[in-house]
Amino acid sequence: MNKSKAPIRVLLADDHAIVRAGIREVLNQAGDIRVVAEAEDGEAVRRLIREKQPNVLVLDIRLPAASGIEVARWARASYPDIAILVLTSYDETPFVEAALQAGVNGYLLKTASPEVIVQSIRDLHRGKSAFDSAVTQKIMDYIAGGSSSALHSEALTERELEVLSLASKGETNIVIGAQLGISGRTVQGHLARIFRKLHVNTRTEAVMRAVASGLITPETED
């Protein structure tokens, strides 16, 4: 690990102490990730986000006081820069769709390997998404279900398509701006208009809807 680089700060939320202990050990051993706080209920998550300012929120869906979905929705509205990863045992479609609607960046099942969980947190911190292969079809069905409205909504401009294409590769606003010769603030403005035109709330949903609509080509691994 590059010691000059700050570790990824993670807030871990699960109502089972033994589960938190296991995940914490996996993450802290990664070297570039540090669990800065833990919560056993939704209200504690809200308080700790304000206090600890994590980069990534890892939360279960079933939490006392406020569900993971409620917490995700609140966090997305109040702290839009936080990446949100749902780590749960529930793979049923209603849970997956509710999480997407709440604005999460990733959705993994607790059967995921430690390596997958660690890499997913790194990906989310870089602006990418991370979804368990077991729920991928549910996600695509959900996105495709809204693709017709995207196709019939106000068309994206050429610049907006350029921004969205770069966003699909996980680039930050600053990097996107540098590549296009515009400011990060201007990039954020383009993204806001893209969200409005595609009827979405997050980058992840915008990219997936645009791919489902044929507006952009999905990034492929070499």
- Second CATH level (architecture) for the domain 8-142: 3-Layer(aba) Sandwich (3.40)
Q: Around 69, how many Cα atoms within 13 Å sit in the side-chain half-sphere?
A: 11
Structure tokens at 201: 């709330």
Task: For residues 153 and 130, give the distance between their C-alpha atoms in angstroms, rounded to a whole number.
Answer: 27
H-type alpha helices, the chain: 17-28, 42-52, 68-78, 93-102, 114-125, 136-145, 147-151, 158-167, 173-180, 184-198, 203-213
Task: For residues 121 and 135, give the distance between their C-alpha atoms in angstroms, rounded to a whole number.
Answer: 18
Residues 6+ apart with CB under 8 A from 207: 129, 164, 167, 168, 216
Q: pLDDT per residue over 199-208, tens digit each?
A: 788 887 788 7
Domains in the chain: boundaries: 8-142, 146-213
Q: Quickly state the pLDDT bin for 220 (edges 50, 70, 90).
A: very low
Residue 97 has pLDDT above 90, yes or no: no
Residue 193 has pLDDT above 60, yes or no: yes
- Furthest CA-CA distance within the chain: 50
Gyration radius (Cα) of the chain, Å:
17
CA dihedral in degrees (82, 115, 89, 100; nearest 10)?
40
Q: pLDDT per residue over 49-77, tens digit each?
A: 999 999 999 999 888 888 888 899 899 98
CATH top-level class for 146-213?
mainly alpha
pLDDT of residue 117: 96
Q: Which residue has the higher pLDDT, 90 or 215?
A: 90
Task: For residues 167 and 145, give the distance between their C-alpha atoms in angstroms, rounded to a whole number.
Answer: 22
